[in-house]
Structure 1
């Protein structure tokens, strides 16, 4: 932990969403590990971010090494790879916060809500990993379209759901570091809302021909 900031590992960090979040955290002074199935691709993605962001501390590795190095681990892989990726590094996640950005989209009908039977993708992941890992659901509704433009104001709030309040607080701090507003959205079972909203936002994008529809929480002070 440097300067009080936890080291972050972004599994799936070679993709648009993962690399965009990584870029914003690196720009905010976090040490970031880019994780990927292919260490070479992860290292290349990290080098690209480091070159684009002055002073950034970004490294790349395979998912296992990244998860071991990260104090908070962020999972940004497609839904089809969610559980396999997390379970493969389960031992490295013990005692840590795992931020699940997964959206249960089922192509080709990604504009239709298709939640897993009995709950959300985040709930299923928590059940698979066990109580030793604190799963927090967040960032599903943030479009990757403008993430790499660090000066762009992202017009979307972040719903943060998890059973551990302290873990939610840590993830809200990450949202703020990425120049977003994060809000406590209650226990992990409430993650169904953010997961389902993604398909709704995709439908809005398609209908109104925009790239990044988002949500705002209103009525709060400040």
Structure 2
């Protein structure tokens, strides 16, 4: 009887150890959003404005590049700051150059768990956007330097896919809207305020430094 009990106990303990080992192999960390992370991304931006209707119709989109720094306090809550530069086609508006910049600060809410490589997120923040067009041909045959800049609401969403800790590929869509940008022409401020909205689709790479040290 004692030998039967001992055998049963030995088998039970063995099964428990094997199950624990298999569970540890199956459930493992595949992602993180905690700590400091750095990113670089390319994007394609479109914009619109009733005030600058000619500009957005003739030069309404273009590619760009940006950088990002974020800090995750935990697996759900993260703060971030990023800078994006977009170059638009100036040929169709007979200009020397035309570009946008966006400086953004905000909070990101991450979803899913560290056992998943795919981590969706949503974000909201404040963006300061600047549009600058140099030597734009005007209706009188002359050329003007235009600058318009102002703050706007930033909302976005996307996914991070961890190819391997600590590196993730990030796909993001964001909208910058609600801006009433003061307009300057040839260095002189005007009383006009332009409505400007922009939309970006970005693809980039993130490095989570917390996983390196």
TM superposition score category, shorter chain reference: under 0.3
Answer 1 or 2: which has greater helix percent.
1
Relative to the length of structure 1, the TM-score reads 0.21
Relative to the length of structure 2, the TM-score reads 0.22
More contact order relative to length (CA 8 Å, sep ≥ 6): 2
Answer 1 or 2: which has greater strand percent.
2
